[in-house]
Structure 1
Amino acid sequence: MKIALVTDAWEPQVNGVVRTLQSVRAILEGQGHEIMIVSPDRFYSLPCPTYPEIRLAVVGMHSVGELLADFAPHAIHLATEGPICLAARRWCLKRGFPFTTAYHTQFPDYVSARSGVPAEWIWRYIRWFHTPAQAILASTPSIRKTLVDHGLSQVSHWGRGVDLRHFHDNVTPEASLAHLPRPLQLYVGRVAVEKNLEAFLESDHPGTKVVVGDGPARGALEPRYPEAIFLGSRFGADLAAIYSAADVFVFPSRTDTFGLVMIEALACGTPVAAFPVSGPVDVLIPKVGAMAERLEEAIAEALLKDRADCAAYGRSFTWEASAEQFLGALAPIEGDLRAA
């Protein structure tokens, strides 16, 4: 099957959207499917205001349409709500071609956090963008409910997975962290305002706080919290060793749709502490994590969990299952796009 995957989020960005698309593409290509990525690197782009790591393509319908027509896919998936997917959406609608979309990110909440614009204003755009889709792929029951509550009912489940080649409970813990005061409390993810990282850094549970990741808020947060250790970005086996060294993984975000880092930590045997919000409430079970409105309480409870239970639960999330769900949700195109 030939699949066009259109996205405004792609390499070198480091986030859950990109990692999900990369992982699913690898599985599908391994099964013999042909995937074309239509991403910002194909076009002239500008840095996103307040978030320069994200590039916004300057692109029109015809440029994107030419790529799609030349590839002649059997299905088109629009992964994001940015300018490239807007152009692809317009091209598909003009020619009557079906497409699917995905709701990866709590976009209204993120924009509201960064700009002060009411989230409901952004929901008007989200409804408009996703309404024509044959299916909207969402990762959890909470996100399905959020979409349905906002008038978008054509939701299809698309779960997430763990790369078990790297993230497992036989990883040797990172030796450089062994001397730090325990418990070792770890955060992994973007260092950005929407991740609510200050809630973690200001928690008063004893031990050492370690932050892995980078982002626009790091320059302000690192000098404000000198007792915390900021390691920057880590990947693959290096990241797994840090997960393995931690006593608890802390997920302070209140706006994530899933939280890939939670299941990576669990697969390495590390329990998770979080707020009882969308993402954690869908992913965590009592044997492997704890949720509370006081993060300190969640951390204390999570530290009591059995690491073997955590690893076993983390292994249950596979990219193979995710790829199968993605494939099953696609809307086949009838006819030849090259004639469009």
Structure 2
Amino acid sequence: MVTDAWRPQVNGVVHTLERLTATLQTFGVTVEFLTPARFKTLPMPTYPDIRLALTTPGRVCRLIDESKTDHVHIVTEGPLGMMARRYCRARGLPFTTSYHTRFPEYVAARLPIPQDWTYRWLRNFHNSGNGTMVATPSMARDLETRGFDKLQPWTRGVDVEHFSPDKRDDLDFPRPIFLCVGRVAVEKNLPAFLDLDLPGSKLVVGEGPELERLKAKYPDAHFLGHRPNNELARLYASADVFVFPSRTDTFGNVIIEALASGTPVAGFPVTGPIDIVGDGFGGIVSEDLRQAALTALDVDRAAARERALRYTWTACAEMYMDNICAARASAVAAKAA
């Protein structure tokens, strides 16, 4: 797996890769990572928490050759991803990719670059492989309309033992408690949550480049920063509603972590929320986020938990391997033709 997203970053991509790898090992699959941790790095402009690898295509080629890998999966479209793609194409090797981030929207939020330009580049990047794994049906439909092909479904998982309603506890905040967990960054659209006129308390868990600015602008909200995994599970279970204001995520692992904890979800009717709780089972989606958050207070917490049980890491790993086998088979068939 080639990924530009890696520790010390704390995000859905890194978490997914770690849990996926642990599950693949139980299948007898060995995973080797090519990440920025192997190289000198520099901070990404406008987002210094993300480190970009400083290396050459030749060194990336040598490292992949030395691994004697059976298959290359490119996780991200960063410098390492681009060099790995170049390697595979030069050698005529099949490879797969995954679409984790709405990169055009992410770039447009920071730089005056039209989204169509970025989508054109991404389409060329992903379509040159033998399969692109996508987390949700709505994301696949959106990419299809933009000319992406060879799309493969690949869901996510959640540890339903760790994230559990049993960890519900009293919190020293006025109720109802509305919780948001994730990177405190511009693409997460946190003001859409923080601007809401809601009773009780608003809690934000996470760190990021927007943290100090938002703390100053919203003194009535409670910014808890990064929390250890055990405490995070307690916060999820102890909240009354989990609010997911992002419009740019391709899934939202935090959604199913909240659901597994028995906490209903409120979000916009966009990729992620609409795929997971769009039917009203376990949460509410609406363009009126305040109304969704208030209505979610009445959602059955047992239903929220039940919805999360469909997302297992075993199913995630099985889909991943099925996609790789299908991509390799299509590459063999194409060569034979």
The answer to whether the superposition gives a TM-score over 0.5 is yes
- Give SS of 1:324's match: helix
Q: Deviations over 1:192-215 (max 9, x none)?
A: 000000010010011100000000
2:72 aligned partner, one-letter code: I
* Secondary structure at 1:249 match in 2: strand
Is residue 2:144 matched to residue 1:148?
yes
- Answer yes or no: is the 8 Å Cα contact 1:59–1:87 preserved in 2: no
Structure 1 vs Structure 2 CA RMSD: 1.4
In the alignment, the residues of structure 1 paired with residue 243 and residue 66 of structure 2 have an alpha-carbon distance, to the nearest angstrom, of 46
1:44 alignment partner in structure 2 = 40
CA contact (8 A) 1:205 1:296 kept: yes
After superposition, give the CA deviation of every residue in 1:269-325 in whole Å (9 maximum; x if it has no partner): 000011111111111131211111111100111110111111111122111100111
Partner residue, 2:201: 208
Question: Runs of 4 or more off by more than 6 Å in structure 1?
Answer: none
Native 8 Å contact 2:266 2:285 kept in 1: yes
- 2:243 pairs with 1:242: no
User: Which of 285, 295, 298 does residue 301 from structure 1 map onto?
Assistant: 295
Q: Distance in 1 between matches of 2:228 and 2:91?
A: 41
Distance in 2 between the 1:239 and 1:262 partners? Answer: 13
1:21 to 17, 20, 27: 17
Distance 2:58 2:26 in 1: 31
Contact 1:247 1:271 survives alignment (8 Å): yes
- Counterpart AA for 2:166: N
> In the alignment, what sits opposite 1:231?
224
Of the three residues 179, 185, 192, the one matched with 1:186 is 179
Say if 2:282 and 2:300, in contact at 8 Å, map to a contact too: yes
| Superposition pairs of residues 157-168 of structure 1, within 5 angstroms | 157-168=153-164
Q: Distance in 2 between matches of 1:119 and 1:104?
A: 16
| Aligned residues of 2:41 and 2:53 also touching (Cα < 8 A) | yes
**Separation (CA, whole Å) in 2 of partners of 1:164 and 1:180:** 26
How far does residue 236 in structure 1 lie from its aligned partner after superposition? 2.1
The Cα shift of 1:30 comes to: 2.3
1: CA distance, partners of 2:164 / 2:26: 22
Counterpart CA distance in 2 for 1:30 and 1:65 is: 28
Distance 2:314 2:261 in 1: 19
Counterpart position of 2:335: none
Q: TM-score, normalised by structure 1?
A: 0.94
Query: Alpha-carbon deviation of 1:332?
Result: 4.0
- Secondary structure, counterpart of 2:31 in structure 1: strand
Please state whether the residue corresponding to 2:20 is helix, strand or coil.
helix
How far the C-alpha of 1:74 sits from its partner, in A, is 1.0
Unaligned runs of 5+ in 2: 333-337
Equivalent residue number for residue 261 of structure 2: 268
CA distance in 2, matches of 1:217, 1:181: 25
Contact 1:76 1:100 in 2 (8 A): yes
Q: Is the 8 A contact 1:105 1:257 kept in 2?
A: yes
CA contact (8 A) 2:182 2:254 kept: yes
Partner of 1:98: 94
**2:108 maps to which residue?**
112
**Is the CA contact 2:181–2:206 (under 8 Å) kept in the aligned structure 1?**
yes
Correspondence for 1:291: 285
Kindly, what percent of the aligned residue pairs are identical?
Answer: 48
Letter in 2 for 1:18: V
Partner residue of 2:304 out of 310, 320, 323: 310
CA distance, structure 2, for counterparts of residue 299 and residue 205 of structure 1: 8
What is the TM-score with the length of structure 2 in the denominator?
A: 0.95
Q: Aligned pairs, how many?
A: 328
**Once the two structures are superposed, what CA deviation does each residue of 1:9-30 show, in whole Å capped at 9, x if it has no partner?**
0111011111111110110012
Q: Which runs of 5+ in 1 are unaligned?
A: 336-340
**Aligned counterpart, 2:210:** 217
Paired AA for residue 104 in structure 1: H
Where 1:38 maps in the other structure, the secondary structure is coil
Cα distance in 2 between the residues matched to 1:84 and 1:211: 32
User: Which residue of structure 1 lines up, in the alignment, with residue 322 of structure 2?
Assistant: 328
What is the aligned partner in structure 2 of residue 338 from structure 1? Answer: none
Shift in Å at residue 108 of structure 1?
0.4
